[in-house]
Amino acid sequence: MAILEIKKYPEKVLKKKALPVTTFDQDLQELIDNMIETMYAAPGVGLAAPQVGQQKRLAVIDISTRDNKFPLIVIVNPVIVSSEGEVEFEEGCLSLPEYTAVVKRAEKVVVKAQNRHGKAIEIDGTDLLAIALQHEIDHLEGMLLIDRISPIKREFFKKRYKKIQKFSQ
């Protein structure tokens, strides 16, 4: 296994809609294993394939450090089929290091997907799991955390980020 490079804002790959996975071969299994290792090394609770430069509808999530009822989840070609309620939660993102924002999300979601071997699965997510599922699925749609905040906050983020980039070069 290998730790992959996590793509950071404003890399273009993060804004592209990911393509459906159609082949569940050894290459996909290696990508999944590498994504899991990368997520744990970061450390994070989720990682989507576009964040490691792969335009595949694939994500890994592990919230067990905060809620041990849910072990590692691999979702391939996920779709949110229902959602209810609303919750605000302060989120971070591995592609936006050292930045957090309060985001409104559905409090509960039902996601249909495939597991790492192509078998159909359904996940009922509440609380942190619901937030993580929505966050990672956003990545597969080419959306970032900053796309979920107000335009004023987004402009403030972009200006601050450019200054940080300028000084770190």
Report the catalytic residues: 136
101 Rama sector, left if φ>0, alpha if ψ -120 to 50, beta otherwise? beta
Contacts of 79 (CB under 8 A, 6+ apart): 111, 112, 113, 137
d(CA 119, CA 132): 21
Contacts of 150 (CB under 8 A, 6+ apart): none
d(CA 73, CA 148): 24
Distance of CA 21 to the CA centre of its chain: 16
83 in Cβ contact with 108 (< 8 Å) = yes
65 in Cβ contact with 45 (< 8 Å) = yes
**Dihedral over alpha carbons 123, 32, 72, 7 (to 10 degrees):** -90
